[in-house]
Amino acid sequence: MLPVIFGLSGPVMTAAERALFRDTDPAGFILFARNIEDPEQLRALTDSFRDLTGRAAIPILIDQEGGRVTRLGPPHWRSWPAAQTLAGSANCSEPERLASAVERVRCNFEALALELAGVGVTVTCAPVLDVPQPDAHDIIGDRAFGASPELVSILGSACLEGLQLGGVAGVIKHLPGHGRALSDSHETLPRVSAKAAELEQDFAPFRALSNASMAMTAHVVYDALDKAHCASLSPTVIETHIRQRIGFDGLLISDDLDMKALAGDIPSRAVAVLEAGCDIALNCWGKLADMQGIAERVPPMTPQAAARLQAACAPLRVAEHSSALQSRIDALLARRDALA
């Protein structure tokens, strides 16, 4: 199996993509707006991945956080709120208000998961566990549940629980913390100058949820940890800080290889994140030449990564679209809204 998650170019696999995926057996796939038309088409596409690979519980990823990071929306799917909107005015010093927010988040993400499961999507890249700082770039902003590590941890846990109840896995991101970045890693390489003691605040939500099955690295340089490499490319950050200090032992996925924070050709980036200690390289854009180059250069998946992948995929469930499923989603959202 290839330690890569691939995208594809359109709403169906082309003949060339099908041949590549059949020959290389990537760990999973990721979907974007260019791959989505309507529920019937999307379910047929996700079923085609399962048929091609022979894996019923293959990870099929999507960025479905809610708010501004949403791939499925009206008119075919519901509109989902951002994390900050779900959190509302919750804080850790008011137990009743916090309890309402926890239940609101749990209901929201169980409903979201059921909607995904109905079209055969098994993984969403959420929750964001970054703790945004006042002077940081707004790339995180309302994607975070709050500005305190404790609140982010509590509501992030509720998100993962809701997703799991719906049969979908979450991906905690962006380890070891993107909340201090002064720039957007899609556009440039951010550098964080905070001292190691200050970074403990960033680590805290990830440490609290270190038993999550999947996580995503940040393309961010942390001077106190490794001045020469961003987290996704740093063996020191991955082994010493993510694996040991934070304690995450699940499936570790790089952020998108195509982001401008990284340098070099795409196959070289894939090799580099795997050599640094990521289990999976994430290649989103479905460019056939890049995928072929990656397939030619990356090594097979390690036994340790394969075991982590198997454990992460074990709970995944695909649902059948039905009136009962829709009724359950409606009931969860009614409960969520009653707690607003």
pLDDT tens digits for range 290-333: 999 999 999 999 999 999 999 999 999 999 889 999 999 999 99
Q: What local confidence, expressed as pLDDT, does residue 145 receive? A: 97
DSSP symbol at 244: I
Q: Which helix (H) or strand (E) holds 64?
A: strand 64-66
* Catalytic-labelled residue, pool 38, 186, 330, 337: 186
pLDDT tens digits for range 199-211: 999 999 999 999 9
pLDDT at 269 over 90: yes
Q: What is the mean pLDDT of the chain?
A: 96
The sign of the torsion formed by the CA atoms of 123, 300, 306, 208 equals negative
Closest CA to 145 of 64, 87, 95, 103: 87
* Catalytic-labelled residue, pool 255, 256, 279, 290: 255
Q: How many CA atoms lie within 13 A of 154 on its CB side?
A: 21
Phi and psi at residue 209, in whole multiples of 5°? -115, 30
186 is catalytic: yes
- Print the domain residue range for 238: 2-338
C-alpha–C-alpha distance, residues 75 and 88, integer Å: 26
Largest CA distance in the chain: 57
- Domain total for the chain? 1
pLDDT tens digits for range 216-235: 999 999 999 999 999 999 99
Q: What is the CATH number of the domain that holds 297?
A: 3.20.20.300
258 is catalytic: no
